Chain A
C-alpha cells in the first residue's frame, strides 16, 4: 500500500489535530531509515518554540533549525522561519553583505517575524532549501524528506499560500522561488501527501474535505491512513445475535465500547467509499510515544531492494 511513497522526495503528512499525524510521520521516517534509506524528518509547526512532540517520538535530543543526526540514516530538523528568511535573502540579494546587513536590521527582522504570512513563507523556504541541497557529486543530501505538517486548518492555509503569492507577484525573486516550490509540491513524481484520520465521524468528514481541497490545489494525495481502528471481535452472525440480545434485555457493560466500534466501522466505510486514494487501515495498538512509532515502523518498512539507485552508491 505504501510502496509508491518510497520513491518520492517529499512525504507531506497531514491530518486533523489529535489523529496521530505526528506519530505517523515519525514512523514513516523510522521505517525508511531502517530499510537503509537516508531520511530527513522535518517538523513544520506554526510555533517554533516549546517542546517538540515529533523530536520526542524519535528520540532526537535537539529540536532546532539545524539538521541533526538521530540515528543511522535518520536526521531531524525543526524548520525555522528565520532560517528560511536568511536563505531567501542570501539568494535574492545581489551581495552577501547586504543580506547580512538586512538580517542585522532589527526593524526588518521584526517585520519578517510578525508580518502576515511571512513566517509561513520562511518555513516553506527552509524546507525547499533543504530539498534542493546537493552533495559535491550531485546526489541529494536529503533524498527523502518526511514533513510533519501542522493540523489541517493551518496546513491548507500553507498549501494555498504559494498560489496566492504568485497571483500577487508573479515575477521577481519571490515569484521565481515560489513557482519552483509549487512545481515541486504539485509534482506527483516527487511529492506525496499522506492524509491521516481516525475512524470517527468528524475526523473522517474533515479528511474528505481536505482531500477535495488538495485536488483543487492540484497537490498529489497519494495515500490516506486510518489510524487506531478498533479490533472487531464479532462475526456477522454474532453481531446480529448481540443486537437481538441487547434489544430484548437493555444495555449492558461494554455498550459504550460497542458503540465506539460501530461508529468506527461506519466512519471507515464512509472514508473508503468516498476517498479517491489508497487507504491503509492501522489497528489500535496498546503502545504510545516512541514505542508506538517503532511498532508502526515495523509494519511500514520498505523492502531494501526497493531502494532507488541513489541509495545503492556508497
Chain B
C-alpha cells in the first residue's frame, strides 16, 4: 500500500510536513515530492531552511530572497508537455518573515518601523538558535492563510528529534504568555493581586541585577511596543495548530533505512497520535531495498582474457556485490517490518539512493517519480 497513497497525498493535502532527524535527506525528499506534485498539476510551494548548496543549485535557488523563487516551467517540464502545475521554492529567511509579521500585525506603519528599528529587535531576529522553528511556523501559517498555493511542503529545521519543530509554536505561546509579558511591561500595570505584585518586585530586582538598570529600561520600552503584537502572534500559533491537526495536513517521517531507525519511527507515530496530529507514513530515504536484476560479477570472468588485473577487478567487484547485497537485504527487512505494523491509510515507501544525481534538477524529477510510483 504505497504508490497510490503517496500520489493521493500529494494530490489531496494542503500541507505536508516532513519531519526527521538531521542528515536523513528531508530537504531532498521535500524537493522531490514538490517536483512530483507540481508535475502532476498542482500549485506547490516547498518551504525549506538552509538547504545544502548543491541541492539549492539543483533547484535553481540563488540566495535566500524575500520571496519564493519559481522553477521555470521549461525546467519543470523539461521532458515533455507543460501542465498547469507550478513549483515555487523558498529558503526561509527568519529575518524577512519576522519583519513581514511585524508589519502585518502592528497597528500603524510607524509602530512597525519603531519595532523593526529597535536594536533589541535586530538582536532577536538575527538569532538563529531556536528562532528558525518560530519562523517556519509563522511562514507556514502565512502561506496557508493567503491561499496562493494548493500544496505546501514544509521541510522542518534540522534537529535531533523528528518532532522538535512542533514544540516551537508551543514554546512561543508560553513565551507570549501575557503574564510573562506583563513582567516586562510598564511597571505600574502589574495585575493579579498581591502574590503577583510580590513576583513583580522580585523580578524588578533580578532584572536590574542581571541586565543593569539601563538595559532593563530599554527592554521595557521594546516590550511595551512589541507587546501589542503578541495577541496576534498567539492567534497565528493557535490557528496553525488547528490547521496541522486537520485532515488537510499530513506528517511524514523521513528516516534512514537502517534498523536503528525503527525505534524512532515508532516514537514518531506515537507522539503524533498523542498530539492529535495526522500521521501519514514513512519515507525510508536512500534505500537500497529495490531489487535490480543484474548479472553477478562472476559473469565478467569470461571477458577478462586471463588478464591478471582484470581478474583482480572481478574478484574485488564480487566483494562489493556481497556488501551491497547485505545492505539491500537489511533495508528490505526494515521496510517489511514497518509495513507490517502500519495503521490503515498510512504508507511506508523506500526512496532510492539517488547518489550524485541530485546535483541536477533531473535527478529530483527522477526521485520524485520514483517516490510517487512507490
Contacts and interface: CB of A to CB of B under 8 A. Distances in A.
Contact of A17 (B21, B180, B205): B21
Interface stretch (B71-79, B144-152, B315-323, B366-374): B315-323
Contact of A92 (B164, B167, B209): B209
A133 interface: no
B351 to A, nearest CB: 14
Contacts of A53: 160
A168 B124 CA distance: 10
A153 interface: yes
Interface in B118-142: 119-120, 123-124, 126-132, 134
B76 to A, nearest CB: 23
Nearest to B123: A168
Interface string A104-122: 0111101101111101100
B294 A263 contact: no
Interface stretch (B39-47, B61-69, B239-247, B299-307): B299-307
Interface in A97-143: 98, 101-102, 105-108, 110-111, 113-117, 119-120
A46 B127 CA distance: 14
Interface stretch (A156-164, A272-280, A297-305): A156-164
Of B129, B172, B175, the most chain A CB neighbours within 10 A belong to B129
A17 B24 contact: yes
Contact of B256 (A18, A251, A260): A18
Interface string A217-255: 000000000000000011101111110111011011111
Nearest to A284: B323
B54 A205 contact: yes
B353 A256 contact: yes
A256 B54 contact: no
Contacts of B50: 153
Contacts of A168: 119-120, 123
Contacts of A253: 292, 294-297, 321, 324-325
Interface string B1-37: 0000000000000000000011110000000000000
A226 B31 CA distance: 28
Contact of A114 (B22, B171, B320): B171
Interface stretch (B99-107, B108-116, B210-218, B276-284): B210-218
B288 interface: yes
B13 to A, nearest CB: 26
Interface residues of B, number: 81
Contact of A164 (B127, B171, B307, B325): B127
A117 B321 contact: no
B320 A171 contact: no
B273 interface: no
B157 A153 contact: yes
A258 interface: yes
Contacts of B161: 47, 50
B313 A107 contact: no
A242 B316 contact: yes
B282 to A, nearest CB: 16
B355 interface: yes
B210 A47 contact: no
A115 to B, nearest CB: 6
Contact of A105 (B130, B199, B260, B312): B199
B183 interface: yes
A120 B130 contact: yes
B206 interface: yes
Given A18-B22, A233-B316, A259-B355, A47 B159 contact: yes
A83 interface: no
Interface string A74-104: 0000000000000011001110001001100
Contact of B164 (A47, A114, A202, A251): A47
Contacts of B235: none
A151 B54 contact: no
Contacts of A117: 124, 127, 129-131
A150 interface: yes
B329 to A, nearest CB: 13
A233 B297 CA distance: 14
B324 A98 contact: no
B324 A254 contact: yes
Contacts of A105: 199, 202-203, 206
A263 B354 CA distance: 12
Interface string B170-183: 01101101011001
Interface string B197-241: 001001101100111100100000000000000000000000000
B300 A249 contact: yes
Contacts of A239: 313
Contacts of B129: 46, 116-117, 119-120, 154, 157-158, 161
Given A46-B130, A111-B183, A263-B356, A98 B300 contact: no
Contacts of A116: 124, 127, 129-131, 134, 175
B160 A47 contact: yes
A270 B171 CA distance: 41
Contacts of B171: 113-114
A138 to B, nearest CB: 30
Contacts of B128: 153, 156-157, 160
14 contacts: A108-B183, A114-B171, A114-B172, A168-B123, A169-B215, A173-B209, A234-B312, A234-B313, A253-B297, A254-B297, A254-B321, A256-B288, A256-B292, A257-B324
Given A107-B180, A238-B316, A239-B313, 17 more contacts: A16-B22, A17-B23, A18-B21, A53-B160, A108-B183, A110-B180, A116-B131, A117-B130, A157-B127, A157-B129, A164-B126, A167-B123, A172-B210, A172-B211, A242-B317, A245-B304, A245-B313
Interface of B: 21-24, 49-50, 52-55, 119-120, 123-124, 126-132, 134, 157-161, 164, 167, 171-172, 174-175, 177, 179-180, 183, 199, 202-203, 205-206, 209-212, 215, 256, 260, 288, 292, 294-297, 299-300, 303-304, 307, 309-310, 312-325, 327, 353, 355-356, 359
Q: Which 8 A-B pairs have the closest CB atoms?
A: A17-B22, A18-B23, A254-B321, A17-B23, A114-B175, A242-B313, A233-B316, A157-B128
